[in-house]
Structure 1
Amino acid sequence: MRKRRPQRHTSPMTATQKPGAAIEAFSFGEPVPVLSQREVFDYLEAMHNGRWYEPPLSLNGLSRVYRAGVHHASAIQVKRNILRSCFIPHPKLSLAAFTGLALDYLIFGNGYLQAVQNRLGGVLRYDHLRAKYTRRALDLDTYWWIAQPGQEQALPAGRVGHVMESDINQEIYGIPDYVGGLNSTLLNESATLFRRKYYENGSHAGFIMHITDAVQNEGDIAALREALRQSKGPGNFRNLLLYTPNGSKDGVKLIPVAEVAAKDDFLSIKNVSRDDQLATHRVPPQLMGVMPNSTGGFGDVTKAAQVFDINEIDSIKASLLALNDWAGEEVIRFNPYKLAAGIEQASQGDLVR
């Protein structure tokens, strides 16, 4: 006779029982796309709301980025100051109006002038229209002023002169040349803000205090914990006295951790992003007050100014001079750039154009 084997009774798995842990494989640090999802709109026609076309880039965003980075703002301000120093004021176009026009053109890639007429229909003066609040109508001849929501105003056709930087995707608005370097500008700003928060939060004093001395009691530990808590925060370079009678030299150890957590390559990021911004704006560093890293320096500032004047400033002047064709008179004129042309030649007051 065969012996019966005892039957095994299986019971359902309860909540307290855990199955064998499965091996999981995952990846981290997903690649970040160089371009955002906004480029899909390049395949569509320019968006409009029934009255005016919307710019392909956020003008509010460009205005915030203007002062985000030191080198980005400095490069734009150098070009603006050179153009302002070369501009010859006109009875109908003041220096202040031209300065606003030049700054808008450099930041937004668009510059606007509005012709203010007198009672006889002639032009009394030309005012600067801020590009951030100016939109182009569907007929491309009329412009809208939208500074106050709900009180938008349509400007008559022919009253607004528009100069813009060319774009490869549309012909309604201009796009600034520095768009390709915005990531470097924002990276430079992020590195500065991170280091600033790093110091404000007191992370540079981070450490682990390991106490193994048996002479310490709970009261001493509580007092030490409170002293350490009070030493954190802004300006936390403070001295701390720890008295351990009859304790060993290795009873208290400080294990720093901030040195490992704070290796963000701050100087490397600042230098690389600075070089990217200078390359985007094509401005010689010696004209912006940048200190050289080597003893050799950046070279002769006069020669650099001459090359910069020929390659960049003359091109910007030519774009702004196109407004003379719209105005029907020579309201924009320029003197030579003194640093590039030389003091003797510039003192004669000869006009470039």
Structure 2
Amino acid sequence: MSKRKRARRMDRPSPASRPPNAMIVANDTRAGVSAFTFGDPEPVNSRATMLDMLECWHNQRWYEPPISLEGLSRSFRASPHHSSAIILKRNMLASSLDPTPQLSRRAFAGMVQDYLVLGNAYVQEVRNRLGQLLRLDHALAKFTRRGLEPGQFWWVPGFRNEVAFEPGTVHQIMAPDINQEIYGLPEYLSALQSALLNENATLFRRRYFENGSHAGYILYATGAFADGDVDAMREALKRSKGPGNFRNLFVHAPDGKESGIRILPIAEVGAKDEFLGIKNTTRDDVLAAHRVPPQLLGIVPANAGGFGDVTKATDAFFELEIAPLQTVFLELNEALGRNVVRFRERPRPAA
């Protein structure tokens, strides 16, 4: 046998010839500890980044959003900190509005909530017969689509129920996106997985208590029991299930040995999923994405020092978050050519 054939036979199989999820030996020492890796490495930036290179596709009438608006709407109430941070911003912006005859506080609050949840806000002009502006109505961003023609928008509440708005009567406010300029995307997308994980942890713990897994154990009996004692224990355990469980069970074994009856818990092993750690970590991620101080959301501090002065935190939050959001909605004045959006000047805190 030639050296070339011998070397080819001793080579390891190439990664392309391995079946998926194969067990690959990392070191074959024949004696001692062997390490294994399961499957081939999966890159983080693979199929997910393909969406960043696609434009918003259209159906010859309107553009479809780059992300599911239905999914964003459902995730709004996934985490209490996620929804509470958005509601806090909405309420602070609505309270700072100086209503005008054309724009009510209710319509403005709806626009703000759409902008914070979906990244887009739409307002529709309502005109009189002379073409003069009467008022501005809030158009739900979840069902509003941007048309192919400039200034054209569509109302799409369901299949075959679409209606075209009158051209030039709908105005869009969008959060900027780095991949396209047709629709806006919300700022909290980087923390959306944390909000969903927070919801999953809560739902898992609820199911854990509802299905009675917290009472699971193995009754291991090796002692000597009289006739009928085992059947009596079995019947007593059956009666402890269902409503009114957590009952105490008395067992008397006169000739039994020490450790003849043992209870081996089996459900606690699966229940140790770091519930509090998951909740706290995901909460911090969501608050970091929304940039909301924890004391403004009613979070109880874990340390004795607390979170600091809530008044100073409110002032800083208003200056860094609410004031920039006010400038976003002032764009409507430029689009309409008149001051329909006005905000009251916030009193300065006393020195």
1:291 equivalenced with 2:312 (yes/no): no
- Equivalent position amino acid for 2:279 in 1: K
Asked if the contact 2:82/2:286 (under 8 Å) is kept, the reply is: yes
**Cα drift, residue 121 of structure 1:** 1.5
1:102 equivalenced with 2:112 (yes/no): yes
**Cα drift, residue 205 of structure 1:** 1.6
Asked if the contact 2:219/2:261 (under 8 Å) is kept, the reply is: yes
- Rate the CA distance shift 1:263–1:337 in 2: closer, same or farther, 3 A: farther
Q: Choose 1 or 2 for highest CA Rg.
A: 1
Partner Cα distance (2:189, 2:103) in 1: 30
Give the SS at the match of 1:90: coil
- Rate the CA distance shift 1:164–1:83 in 2: closer, same or farther, 3 A: same
**Cα drift, residue 261 of structure 1:** 2.0
Aligned to 2:62: 52
Aligned to 2:310: 301
Provide, for residues 255-314 of structure 1, a one-character-per-residue CA deviation record: whole Å limited to 9, x for no partner.
Answer: 122332211011111111111111111011111111111111111111111211111111
Asked if the contact 2:224/2:255 (under 8 Å) is kept, the reply is: no
Given candidates 334, 345, 352, the residue that maps to 2:343 is 334
Partner Cα distance (1:233, 1:49) in 2: 55
Asked if the contact 1:309/1:337 (under 8 Å) is kept, the reply is: no
Aligned to 1:228: 237
Asked if the contact 1:82/1:337 (under 8 Å) is kept, the reply is: no
Partner Cα distance (2:297, 2:249) in 1: 44
- Rate the CA distance shift 1:167–1:260 in 2: closer, same or farther, 3 A: same
- Rate the CA distance shift 1:131–1:31 in 2: closer, same or farther, 3 A: farther
Partner Cα distance (1:111, 1:325) in 2: 16
Aligned to 1:237: 246
Q: Which moved more, 1:27-36 or 1:175-184?
A: 27-36
Give the alignment's TM-score, normalised by structure 1.
0.83
Provide, for residues 114-159 of structure 1, a one-character-per-residue CA deviation record: whole Å limited to 9, x for no partner.
Answer: 0111122212211100000000001241000011321100112210
Aligned to 1:86: 96
Aligned to 1:162: 172
Query: Which runs of structure 2 are paired with 1:201-216 in the superposition (5 Å)?
Result: 201-216=211-226
1:250 equivalenced with 2:247 (yes/no): no
**Cα drift, residue 194 of structure 1:** 1.2
Partner Cα distance (2:242, 2:79) in 1: 27
Partner Cα distance (1:202, 1:35) in 2: 41
Partner Cα distance (1:32, 1:103) in 2: 38
Asked if the contact 2:79/2:198 (under 8 Å) is kept, the reply is: yes
**Cα drift, residue 41 of structure 1:** 2.5
Partner Cα distance (1:76, 1:166) in 2: 18
1:77 equivalenced with 2:64 (yes/no): no
Asked if the contact 2:55/2:66 (under 8 Å) is kept, the reply is: no
- Rate the CA distance shift 1:235–1:183 in 2: closer, same or farther, 3 A: farther
- Rate the CA distance shift 1:223–1:127 in 2: closer, same or farther, 3 A: farther
- Rate the CA distance shift 1:229–1:110 in 2: closer, same or farther, 3 A: farther
Partner Cα distance (1:311, 1:33) in 2: 37
Q: What percentage of residue pairs aligned between the two structures are identical?
A: 53
- Rate the CA distance shift 1:247–1:165 in 2: closer, same or farther, 3 A: same
**Cα drift, residue 34 of structure 1:** 5.2
Given candidates 121, 124, 131, the residue that maps to 1:121 is 131
Q: Which moved more, 1:141-150 or 1:247-256?
A: 247-256
Give the SS at the match of 1:52: coil
Partner Cα distance (1:303, 1:276) in 2: 22
Asked if the contact 1:202/1:235 (under 8 Å) is kept, the reply is: no
Partner Cα distance (2:236, 2:140) in 1: 56
Number of equivalences: 319
Given candidates 163, 170, 177, the residue that maps to 1:153 is 163
**Cα drift, residue 235 of structure 1:** 6.7
Give the alignment's TM-score, normalised by structure 2.
0.84
- Equivalent position amino acid for 1:123 in 2: L
Partner Cα distance (1:41, 1:95) in 2: 37
- Rate the CA distance shift 1:83–1:244 in 2: closer, same or farther, 3 A: same
1:188 equivalenced with 2:198 (yes/no): yes
Given candidates 327, 340, 350, the residue that maps to 1:318 is 327
Give the SS at the match of 2:121: strand
- Equivalent position amino acid for 1:78 in 2: L
1:281 equivalenced with 2:257 (yes/no): no
Given candidates 147, 153, 158, the residue that maps to 1:143 is 153
- Equivalent position amino acid for 1:292 in 2: P
Give the SS at the match of 1:83: helix
- Equivalent position amino acid for 2:64 in 1: E
